[in-house]
């Protein structure tokens, strides 16, 4: 074999001894290198949304980066100006689409601040429970996707399994899994179903067992910790000069949370802690998010324990008739028998009956649409509904401007609404929590390697719908 030929081996040994003085380092210093420009283009496998990062690389190290956003610009703010206050609610679902109920609640609370009204207690508890469930789904998706990109496919599947239980809960309450449009100005769309408490407790039990499994898989895992520890580090001053909030800021040690600083709804009457990190790197952000999910479960359990009672389902069987029967009687002119009867609502409208209406909605006819039974069975309800929905009528807000911040899953989500007295808002502005983080991103990844961009980007939890609106 040529390889084993003694003369060749001797020749190789001779060259080796000659090169001993010249080390690898001196050889590389003599080679001329140039920086390379690499495009992590808009369509890339990290399943977080579309963004273009143009990197200037020296080997594997990032010297400079330029971030290009706007690939999902869907003109949320312009659409809000073109419709009335209620028509903006479906557009708010699609802002941060992993935690849609938080956006719904934020927008509606800003409008309610403009009107100067406050919703009943039961409605506040319902909004808090749904917001916290949404926050948990957001953190599950974020950690699951980050872990998947580092190779931990199992964690992703476990997180999605836990998320399915929560989606079932959300579907029971609001009718849709993701784009719920659940809140209304002055209340929520429907009351909680009867068996919600038991189902919720079951789902939280499943969630906790999944979180424990994920802790066992990831938190002390050598590979995971090595890839996340010390990567994407930021300091407190850096975070404050960029206006970063949320888990990103809390991982540096500053415990700023809108739920504690400016409490809204019932957050001042439930007990929960704000987890903070120490070093401000990716591993701290992962731990902060895992702990926040546990704290959110605590909030949900306390809210379920303290929620005021729902409507008493009085058996009005002899006073509720099928809507088809009611129409037939009305056509025949037998309207005297219809006094004080209500028509039966369709299954899709369950939860919005007359009994539960005033527990979940403010008692103001100029703002809140009447309950479905009233709309479908008597003329006053129908007229009230008509005046609030049709074009050029609708909800009239007083002139002025408000800014209302809520704690989104990524940080402070603020709605700034300017009203000119008509039924359409003059300007609706969303302050997206991940916008300042992406503005700072090019500085965060400087000095790290290309492979470190992936977990850092995953821990940013950039949601395209929120960033580009």
Only one of the segments 198-206, 216-224, 234-242, 287-295 lies at the binding site for other proteins (rule: CB under 8 A); that segment is 234-242
What residues are paired with 417 via a beta bridge?
A: 402, 428
Q: Which of residues 402-421 bind other proteins (CB under 8 A)?
A: 402-403, 405, 412, 414, 416, 418
Q: Pattern 429-448, binding to other proteins, x per CB under 8 A?
A: x-x---xx-xxx--------
Least distance in angstroms from the C-beta of 29 to other proteins: 34
Phi, psi (degrees; rounded to nearest 5) at 245: -135, 175
Does 202 contact other proteins by CB under 8 A?
A: no
Specify the residue, 106 or 310, whose C-beta has the smaller distance to other proteins.
106
What DSSP element (H or E) covers 10? Answer: helix 6-19
Residue 460: which of 239, 214, 221, 151 has the closest Cα?
239
Residues 255-284 that bind other proteins (CB under 8 A): 256, 261-262
Closer CB to other proteins, 170 or 231, in the complex: 170
Query: CA quadruple 220, 226, 227, 229: dihedral positive or negative?
Result: positive
The 3-state DSSP class for residue 456 equals: helix
CA distance 92 to 430: 9
Q: Are 259 and 270 in contact (CB under 8 A)?
A: no
Name the minimum Å distance from CB 242 to other proteins: 5
Q: How far apart are CA 457 and CA 463, in angstroms?
A: 11
Instruction: For residue 261, give every residue at least 6 positions away whose Cβ sits within 8 Å of its Cβ, in sequence order, or none.
Output: none
- Cα distances from 131 to residues 7, 274, 410, in angstroms, run 77, 16, 13
Residues 135-174 that bind other proteins (CB under 8 A): 141, 156-157, 160-161, 163-164, 167
Residue 52 region by backbone torsions, left for phi larger than 0, else alpha for psi between -120 and 50, else beta: beta
* Residues 10 to 69 in contact with other proteins, rule: CB under 8 A: 41-45, 47, 49-50, 69
Nearer to other proteins, 104 or 375 (CB): 104
Distance CA 458, CA 147 (A): 8
Residue 114 interacts with other proteins (CB under 8 A): yes or no = yes
The number of residues that bind other proteins (CB under 8 A) is 69
Give the binding site for other proteins (CB under 8 A).
41-45, 47, 49-50, 69-75, 77-79, 82, 90, 93-94, 97-98, 113-114, 116, 141, 156-157, 160-161, 163-164, 167, 177-179, 240-244, 254, 256, 261-262, 400-403, 405, 412, 414, 416, 418, 426-427, 429, 431, 435-436, 438-440, 464-465, 468-469
């Amino acid at each position: 074999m040529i390889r084993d030929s003694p003369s060749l081996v001797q020749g190789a040994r001779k060259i080796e001894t000659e090169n001993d003085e010249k080390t690898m380092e001196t050889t590389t210093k003599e080679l001329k290198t140039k920086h390379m420009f690499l495009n992590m283009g808009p369509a890339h496998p990290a399943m977080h949304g579309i963004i273009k990062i143009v990197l200037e690389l020296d080997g594997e190290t990032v010297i400079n980066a330029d971030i290009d956003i706007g690939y999902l610009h869907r003109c949320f703010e312009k659409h809000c100006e073109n419709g009335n206050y209620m028509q903006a609610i479906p557009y708010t679902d699609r802002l941060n689409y992993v935690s849609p109920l938080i956006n719904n609640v934020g927008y509606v609370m800003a409008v309610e601040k403009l009107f100067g009204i406050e919703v009943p207690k039961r409605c506040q508890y319902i909004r808090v429970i749904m917001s916290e469930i949404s926050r948990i789904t957001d953190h599950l998706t974020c950690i699951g996707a980050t872990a998947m990109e580092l190779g931990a496919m199992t964690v992703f599947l476990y997180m999605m399994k836990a998320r399915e239980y929560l989606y079932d809960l959300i579907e029971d309450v609001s009718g849709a899994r993701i784009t719920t449009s659940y809140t209304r100005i002055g209340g929520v769309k429907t009351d909680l179903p009867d068996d919600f408490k038991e189902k919720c407790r079951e789902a939280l039990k499943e969630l906790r067992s999944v979180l424990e499994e994920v802790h066992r898989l990831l938190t002390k895992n050598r590979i995971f910790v090595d890839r996340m520890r010390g990567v994407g580090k930021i300091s407190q001053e850096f975070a404050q000069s960029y206006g970063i909030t949320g888990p990103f800021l809390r991982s540096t040690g500053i415990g700023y949370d809108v739920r504690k600083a400016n409490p809204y709804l019932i957050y001042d009457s439930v007990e929960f802690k704000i987890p903070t990190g120490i070093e401000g790197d990716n591993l701290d952000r992962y731990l902060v998010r895992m702990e926040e999910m546990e704290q959110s479960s605590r909030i949900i359990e306390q809210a379920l324990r303290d929620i005021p009672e729902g409507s008493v389902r009085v058996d009005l069987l002899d006073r509720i008739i099928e809507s088809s029967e009611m129409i037939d009687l009305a056509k025949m002119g037998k309207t005297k028998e219809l006094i004080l009867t209500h028509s039966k609502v369709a299954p899709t409208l369950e939860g919005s009956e007359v009994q539960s209406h005033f527990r979940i909605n403010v008692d103001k006819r100029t703002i809140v649409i009447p309950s479905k039974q009233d709309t479908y069975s008597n003329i006053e309800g129908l007229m009230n509904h008509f005046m609030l929905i049709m074009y050029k009528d609708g909800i009239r807000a007083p002139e002025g401007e408000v800014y209302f911040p809520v704690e989104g899953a990524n940080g402070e989500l603020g709605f700034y609404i300017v009203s000119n007295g008509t039924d359409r808002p003059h300007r609706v502005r969303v302050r997206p929590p991940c916008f300042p983080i992406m503005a700072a991103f090019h500085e965060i990844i400087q000095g790290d390697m290309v492979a470190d961009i992936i977990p850092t980007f995953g821990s940013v939890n950039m949601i395209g719908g929120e960033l580009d609106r």
